[in-house]
Structure 1
Amino acid sequence: MKAKQRLSDIKAMTEDQLNDEVLKLKKAQFNLRFQRATGQLENTAQVRVIRRDIARAKTIAAQKSAEKQG
């Protein structure tokens, strides 16, 4: 699993790429939650990292959307 993404990498993405990234991260989050529920998750901190990456990508997407509209 990929470590925390750099902010500069996320800012360089287009809105479509950001939306795709959010979907990919949500799938990863689901898999981590499933692993945690079944007791197979070794790195529990990864759940927090993924959650924050999702928030980071959504925030940048919202900023780009606001820039485009206003």
Structure 2
Amino acid sequence: MKSKDIRELSVEELDKKLREMRDELLGLNIRKRTGQVENTGRIRVLRRDIARFETIKSQKK
């Protein structure tokens, strides 16, 4: 998501999206350790998106 789109979300929506992304990241990390992940670049993208969401969330508070 673009930063502009993220800023339009409410704090509750940000929390919900963060939970979903963290769950996905956890699943990807587990599958990576077992050698089942084909697209390891998705892990990097998720980590950056989580950081972006956290930054915007803290700016809103």
Q: Same fold (TM over 0.5)?
A: yes
What residue number does 1:45 align with? 41
Distance, in Å, in 2 between the alignment partners of 1:16 and 1:22 is: 10
Q: Percent identity?
A: 36
Structure 1 or 2, whichever has the larger Rg, is 1
Runs of 4+ in 1 over 2 A off after TM superposition: none
Matched, 1:36 2:32: yes
Distance, in Å, in 2 between the alignment partners of 1:48 and 1:26 is: 12
Of 7, 12, 19, which residue of structure 2 is paired with 1:11? 7
Q: Normalising by structure 2, what TM-score? A: 0.94
Q: Deviation of residue 30 (structure 1)?
A: 0.4
- Structure 2 unaligned residues grouped into runs of 5+: none
Once superposed, what is the RMSD of the aligned Cα atoms? 0.7
- Structure 1 unaligned residues grouped into runs of 5+: 66-70
Q: Normalising by structure 1, what TM-score? A: 0.83
What residue number does 1:24 align with? 20
